[in-house]
Structure 1
Amino acid sequence: MEQVNVELVASRSLIATSEARYRLAVESAKDYAIFTIDLSGRITGWNSGAQNLMGWTEEEAIGAPANLIFTPEDDRNAIAETEMRLAVTEGRGEDDRWHLRKDGSRFWANGLMMPLRDDEGGLVGFLKILRDRTDAKRAAEHQALLVNELNHRVKNTLATVQAFTTQTLRSAASMNEARESITARLIALAQAHDVLTAENWDGADLAQIVADALRLHGGDGQRCQWQGNAVRVSARIALAVSMMLHELATNAIKYGALSNATGTVTVTWTMREAGSDGTDAKLRLSLRWEERGGPPVTPPTRSGFGTRMIERGLANELGGEVRLSYEPTGVICTLDIPLEMG
């Protein structure tokens, strides 16, 4: 009898030691959410990693249904029950999907569900392990977005290059003139691309776009000035405005305010709200190019490629309005477009 009691005590001590080691191992895995579920689908164990990742304390989680971590759409599709079935039939149920935190926010996780069995092999519950993979998911989505954006931009850029090359060759007086015009436009386009590439094509600071465009044509603080609200614009607006300023600056150097030693160019811009009733107000960008002090201006007898690009192409591209005015005192160009923030 005494021998039986000794063996019973030793067995219980071994079980307690084993459980303690198991609990220590589970609690040490803080980078993983680990919890157990009974056959009815209710949570029976909850480690500190689960609390850190999902927000519920152990007291809050124990006894709650396991589907509290699933999104409403996954709950409607009985994903928790599907994982349990796979764990029984396949030995494990694994997936990557969005899950819910206590505060309602979502996180992307790799999940693994395995069956828990007793010494006789009977099914007594399930073990669920989650690892937060939100950063990797966001990075993959961002990469895919960048690739799609790059494809779109490459097509648009090639179309732009094709358009101004064709028009330049058609209207240039000589091959030398055509070569110079095409090269200058390519440089302007490349410079705008450099600015956007430095910002991962998330947009650009409008002041930098304006400053770079004017400096590219020799503009300094004395003859070329710019001022406006601090605003980041989308890549689409940045490219379009950069090309517009290039055409205006090129014309100013050839015929306008920058063709002599005294003329000046001023570029200003503002943001304003525009809505039909004030409740659906959207921001718009108003930009103004103004020349002063150059030779007297006379309206051109025909529209060149640059003029057509500004008046029609730019307006269509940005869904706004562009006006070119050939005042005797200098060319004025105004741009009014919906503002896309970068």
Structure 2
Amino acid sequence: MTATREALIRRQQILANFGELVLRSNDLQEILQEGCRLVAEALGTDLAKILEIDRGDGTALVRAGVGWHDDVVGKVRLPLTEHSSESYAIAEGRPVVTQDIAEEMRFEFPSFMKEHGVAAIVNAPIFLPGGLAFGLLQVDERTPRAFDEEDVEFLRTYCMVLGPVIDRLQTAARLGESDERFRLIVEHALDHAIILSDLDDRITGWFPGAAAIFGWDEEEMLGQPVASIFTPEDQASDAPRWEIERAREAGAAPNVRWHLAKDGRRVFLDGQTILLRDATGQAIGFLKIAQDITERKRAEERQSMLQAELQHRVRNVLAMIASIVDRADISGTAEALRDTLSGRIASLARTQVLLTRGVNAGVSLAELIRDELLPLSSGKHTITIEGPPVSLAAKPAEVLTLAIHELTTNALKYGALNNRDGSIAVTWQLQGADEQEWLSLEWRESGLVLQPEVPRREGFGTQLITRRVPYELKGSGEIKLLAEGLWCSIRFPLKPGDSVLQTNIPQRDRTNSER
């Protein structure tokens, strides 16, 4: 009786020691290994082990143990067949004792146990909270032994302590793995802004992606309102508050908008703001997670601009061609009409090639003049093209192209290019007027001896220069026939403009005549 009392006290001390270990250690392997040692000590044997079930292949791994050879713990797997004592104990849900395996007819035992001289065994199943079996605690004896009721109850109690401990540590391990994965994700997802905020929407977590996208570091942003990364116009419209209110009501709110970075840049984010709740369902804050798609957004805008520009330009070219055809002189031969129209359309086409190099591409004034004038000269005439670098927007480029083409065609038919002593000087300069920069271009032909002739009707070229330049370009155009040759002046303000060459000019100016 005294020995039994001492054994019970000793076992209580062992349970207490195990409890202290559990409180100070978060290492599951250490706890299982020490648990085996303490159990073996409590039951007075030198062999004990813990088996962990692997549901994937229907085996149980010797996860921890004392008294076994080095090639057993962590390496040996026991098959959980219908003839194994382990399967039977788990199915019964209680410890199962085999006093002498030599006489046991119900079960088959692994060879490694026989090699270690095991004669008696008790299997105690370990269940996690919820009833899922983790594995078994096995105590082995090298001589036949009738494990009594106190032995079995001690093991059963020990397993009841082990189950919650294993579950806690496995859960902690999973959370640790999850936290590590989350850490790796947020540290490497530099194209995603991940921001945590409290219920007042003040920043409590500013992760590396947010720092990379916005430029502020964590110290600068903790405690700041999330609204500080919204654009001024969105702040003025109270967009941050509406986004948070929608997240409160619906659990999440879309966050697809432009935001403001530290250096003043604007970044476009595509994501959402999510309401965070604790385990009881109480709201505790917000998570804003969004991908930086600034480049994609800008590419989409550029694509949209290109499409709009293309549509715009096609309409404009067709309208201009219609205008050219409408103003063509039909009093001559079909061949003459064809040549005239072909030259004007080709001239317009050359300008379009230059304009379609990119969105809002400019056209070099000097290049435009050379393309129109030099190919039609014979190389025997003196031609001067001189002026500062000027890049023309679409509308003035289209008007000037046709104007230079008409002046060149006229010079070829009637002027300097039709006279071996003729010369042409095209010069321009930039002037300030009305707080704007103006282009002043002059075309001067000389070396001619002009003969009196019957005045011709005002043609397409004259109309273009004297009427369309003022109308289209808000400038002035003038043509004079001097004693030494033709003189032309074109002036207009240089300012960015689209490529619309308006065709709604008053009807009185739509004269079908050729210069």
Which amino acid letter does the alignment assign opposite residue 118 of structure 1? D
Relative distance call for 1:5 and 1:117 in structure 2 (3 A) is farther
Match of 1:6 in 2: 22
Output the CA distance in 2 between the equivalents of 1:120 and 1:58. 30
Match of 2:445 in 1: 291
Match of 1:282 in 2: 436
Match of 2:208 in 1: 48
**Which one is further off, 115-124 or 204-213?**
115-124
Match of 2:492 in 1: 337
Contact 1:258 1:294 in 2 (8 A): no
Q: CA deviation at 1:50?
A: 0.9
Unaligned 5+ runs, structure 2: 1-15, 27-167, 498-515
Which amino acid letter does the alignment assign opposite residue 256 of structure 1? G
Contact 2:377 2:417 in 1 (8 A): no
Match of 1:187 in 2: 346
Aligned: 1:202 with 2:358:
no
Match of 2:323 in 1: 163
Relative distance call for 1:165 and 1:76 in structure 2 (3 A) is closer
Aligned: 1:114 with 2:274:
yes
Match of 1:314 in 2: 469
Aligned: 1:60 with 2:220:
yes
Which of 327, 331, 337 in structure 1 is aligned with 2:482?
A: 327
**Which one is further off, 60-69 or 158-167?**
158-167
Match of 1:278 in 2: none
- 1:252-291 Cα offsets, whole Å, 9 max, x none, are 000000012231211111111113xxxxx21000111111
Contact 1:232 1:341 in 2 (8 A): no
Helix, strand or coil at the partner of 2:235:
helix
Output the CA distance in 2 between the equivalents of 1:220 and 1:124. 84
- 1:87-143 Cα offsets, whole Å, 9 max, x none, are 344343223211112233322221322232333443322211132222233333333
Relative distance call for 1:154 and 1:5 in structure 2 (3 A) is same
Helix, strand or coil at the partner of 1:102:
coil
Aligned: 1:273 with 2:432:
yes
Output the CA distance in 2 between the equivalents of 1:140 and 1:24. 31
Superposition pairs for residues 3-42 of structure 1, below 5 Å? Answer: 3=19, 6=22, 9-10=25-26, 14=173, 18-42=178-202
Q: CA deviation at 1:38?
A: 1.2
Contact 2:190 2:213 in 1 (8 A): no
Helix, strand or coil at the partner of 2:356:
helix
Match of 1:241 in 2: 400
Helix, strand or coil at the partner of 2:439:
strand
Which amino acid letter does the alignment assign opposite residue 475 of structure 2? G
Match of 2:458 in 1: 303
Relative distance call for 1:251 and 1:89 in structure 2 (3 A) is same
Output the CA distance in 2 between the equivalents of 1:44 and 1:118. 16
Output the CA distance in 2 between the equivalents of 1:4 and 1:335. 99
Contact 1:206 1:231 in 2 (8 A): yes
Match of 2:332 in 1: 173
Relative distance call for 1:295 and 1:182 in structure 2 (3 A) is farther
Unaligned 5+ runs, structure 1: 276-280
Relative distance call for 1:199 and 1:287 in structure 2 (3 A) is farther
Output the CA distance in 2 between the equivalents of 1:215 and 1:44. 70
Helix, strand or coil at the partner of 1:226:
strand
Contact 1:298 1:326 in 2 (8 A): no
Which amino acid letter does the alignment assign opposite residue 273 of structure 2? M
Which of 421, 427, 436 in structure 2 is aligned with 1:262?
A: 421
Output the CA distance in 2 between the equivalents of 1:305 and 1:273. 30
Which amino acid letter does the alignment assign opposite residue 314 of structure 1? V
**Which one is further off, 305-314 or 187-196?**
305-314
Q: CA deviation at 1:163?
A: 2.2
Relative distance call for 1:219 and 1:205 in structure 2 (3 A) is farther
Higher relative contact order (CA 8 A, sep 6+): 1
Helix, strand or coil at the partner of 1:313:
helix
**Which one is further off, 286-295 or 41-50?**
286-295
Which of 370, 374, 384 in structure 2 is aligned with 1:215?
A: 374
Q: CA deviation at 1:32?
A: 1.2
Output the CA distance in 2 between the equivalents of 1:83 and 1:206. 51
Which amino acid letter does the alignment assign opposite residue 165 of structure 1? V
Relative distance call for 1:298 and 1:110 in structure 2 (3 A) is farther
Q: CA deviation at 1:241?
A: 0.6
Please report the TM-score for the alignment, with normalisation by the length of structure 1: 0.89
Q: CA deviation at 1:156?
A: 3.0
Q: Please tell me the root mean square deviation across aligned C-alpha atoms, in Å.
A: 2.5
Aligned: 1:151 with 2:305:
no
Which of 252, 257, 265 in structure 1 is aligned with 2:411?
A: 252
Contact 1:297 1:329 in 2 (8 A): no
**Which one is further off, 209-218 or 16-25?**
16-25
Q: CA deviation at 1:239?
A: 0.8
Q: CA deviation at 1:240?
A: 0.7
Helix, strand or coil at the partner of 1:110:
strand
Aligned: 1:83 with 2:243:
yes
Helix, strand or coil at the partner of 1:296:
coil
Which amino acid letter does the alignment assign opposite residue 316 of structure 1? Y
Contact 2:197 2:285 in 1 (8 A): yes
Relative distance call for 1:201 and 1:212 in structure 2 (3 A) is farther
Output the CA distance in 2 between the equivalents of 1:245 and 1:224. 14
Q: CA deviation at 1:4?
A: 6.3
Output the CA distance in 2 between the equivalents of 1:133 and 1:122. 33
Helix, strand or coil at the partner of 1:332:
strand
- 1:11-66 Cα offsets, whole Å, 9 max, x none, are 68645564344223211111111111111211111112211211211001111111
